[in-house]
Amino acid sequence: MRHSSKLLFWVAMAAQAAPVDWIWSARYVVAMDARRQVIENGAVAIRGNQIVDVGPRDGIDKAYQPKQRLDRPDAILTPGLINTHTHAAMSLFRGVADDLRLQEWLEKFIFPAEARNVDQEFVRWGTRLACLEMALSGITTYTDMYYFEDTVAAATKEAGLRGMLGQTIIGFPAPDYKTPQAALAGAERFLKAFANDPLIVPAVAPHAIYTNSDETLKAARALADRYRKPLVIHLAETKTENDDSLAKRKMTPTAALDAMGVLSGWTVAAHGVWLNDADLKIIKARGTGLSHNPSSNMKLASGVAPVVKILGLGIPMGLGTDGVAGSNNDHDIMREIDLAAKLQKVTTGDPRALPAEQAFAMATILGARALRMETLIGSIQKGKLADIITISLNEPHAVPMYNVYSQLAHALHGSDVADVMVNGRLIVRDRKMLTLDAPAVMAKAAEYQERVKKSLR
Ligand SMILES: [Zn+2]
pLDDT of 13 over the 70 cut: no
State pLDDT tens for residues 209-246.
Answer: 999 999 999 999 999 999 999 999 999 999 999 999 99
Q: Is 413 helix (H, G, I), strand (E, B) or coil?
A: coil
Q: Tell me, what's the pLDDT at 1?
A: 45
Q: Tell me, what's the pLDDT at 108?
A: 85
Q: How far apart are CA 118 and CA 439, in angstroms?
A: 22
Name the residue among 238, 302, 300, 233 with its Cα closest to residue 265: 233
pLDDT of 410 over the 90 cut: yes
Q: Tell me, what's the pLDDT at 15?
A: 60
State pLDDT tens for residues 136-191.
Answer: 999 999 999 999 999 999 999 999 999 999 999 999 999 999 999 999 999 999 99
CA of 144 to the centre of ligand 1 (A): 9
Name the residue among 101, 130, 126 with its Cα closest to residue 114: 126
pLDDT of 12 over the 70 cut: no
Q: Tell me, what's the pLDDT at 8?
A: 62
pTM: 0.96
Name the residue among 457, 456, 433, 450 with its Cα closest to residue 135: 433
**What does the radius of gyration of the chain's CA atoms come to, in whole angstroms?**
22
pLDDT of 2 over the 60 cut: no
State pLDDT tens for residues 238-265.
Answer: 999 999 999 999 999 999 999 999 999 9
CA of 291 to the centre of ligand 1 (A): 10
CA of 406 to the centre of ligand 1 (A): 28
How many percent of the chain have pLDDT more than 70? 97
Q: Tell me, what's the pLDDT at 6?
A: 65
CA of 322 to the centre of ligand 1 (A): 5
Q: Tell me, what's the pLDDT at 291?
A: 98
Contact in structure between 223 and 186 (CB atoms under 8 Å)? no
What residues contact residue 197 under an 8 Å CB cut-off, 6+ apart?
A: 153, 157
- Phi, psi (rounded to 5 degrees) for 403: -145, 125
Q: Tell me, what's the pLDDT at 369?
A: 98
Find the helix or strand (DSSP H, E) in which 77 lies: strand 64-79
Q: Tell me, what's the pLDDT at 278?
A: 98
CA of 442 to the centre of ligand 1 (A): 23
Name the residue among 312, 221, 301, 308 with its Cα closest to residue 269: 221
CA of 245 to the centre of ligand 1 (A): 19
CA of 371 to the centre of ligand 1 (A): 16
Task: Write a three-state SS string for 284-333.
Answer: HHHCCEEEECHHHHHHCCCCCCCHHHHHHCCCCEEECCCCCCCCCCCCCH
